[in-house]
Structure 1
């Protein structure tokens, strides 16, 4: 398996080009799945306060035997704790749950614009970074207008914006905007599992042409777009397959064919960040 490339973010923090999603990986079974991912070669684990698995992340890290500095551990601030003091306390509680001294990245999970607290929350995370509790500060599901407000009121853009992105919802405008302002895109639900994109006849046909599995094809498409995909799987075999995307490349024709699968209704659950509220 080829070595995993890395990106240097706008704040100088270095992260791998693919991460293991941990949504619904909890308890002892979750720890085992995370350990198999680490053993397969993943070095970034994406968690969240609302996933209720930060303890499992910490346990997997300790049981892995790897030096802490070799891993990139990520968690996220829930919408109900976006007030400044609550945000700081939540970061501290996250660390205590996981048994960690610091998070490599901490993200605001959703902007919740109707509440109007995301700038306050972002400032709290920047201050947590200054205290050494967090190495890099990012966001999830932010639209350009939310990112611009962060810049206007704090003087910083986040290092990453984690958004729903897959072949049925390729978000070219968001990608172009992120590149322009220096924000790295992370892709949640990169395989579009609700839509079963790996079974789309067009994807299956392209995968056969390239000689890889449909999942590897899709994840390579993400990589060549410049995004960091976060595939989630508890299966050791699928984890290894999902990670093996750096030994081949897609032609411009293949890339265009994948992006052409985009749909106007591509969001899997209709979660429009302009109105969606997450707590």
Structure 2
């Protein structure tokens, strides 16, 4: 009994996300992915039907917003949100991995919940030498997901995410009835993100044409890459002031951010995802999702 309570405490304190303020409008772009999740999970909840039992795999490059999207989904559904990086099952939680998984899913079934299994490729056999341990984890996840699918009283949506979909074992891949490609932002979406990031930095002074000019230069940048660009550009005026050597005397003369600051930032930052890797996600999507 004490061991069971201890395991519940671990799940409650380390996996259950107690504060989740991400809203649907916080997720910029990926309209197709948002629409698919809205139809399968959000709408049934809003229409007063039972919380749907769904299994969805999100795949795409690092920094494209997969985790943000799932957090917004949980918030939109007012669901309990459990977030587990599966890599932890072979590291931090390795000594009690199966017990942890059982407890996690048992707790999720107690109320409408979203279980988010991040880095799902980390429980693939190609990632580890110890196939026995990985097989144990895979079998437990498969067993739990099958139980949820058969349990009419369970209202649990299971969302997994991966940056390396080709490395997900086929037995795990087949568990997910929906597979959604989280793509890079188009130019309009990049402009929207730039405006939002500039506002967060308190430097929303660029014109529409200037924002478009910068967005045109960042085609292969992820959302995380763009956030880094804005962060670096926003400190360029401070760098200029520091170079005068009279910081304390000149703080009142700190200039506003300008387009040249973004050019300087782009010289310091390059897209984090190589073109061949970007192409591989579209190839996977065509083969495994039926996208043409």
* Interval containing the TM-score (normalised by the shorter chain): 0.3 to 0.5
Scaled by the length of structure 2, what TM-score is found? Answer: 0.33
Higher strand share: 1
The structure whose residues are more often helix, as a share, is 2
Larger radius of gyration between Structure 1 and Structure 2: 2
TM-score, length basis structure 1 = 0.34
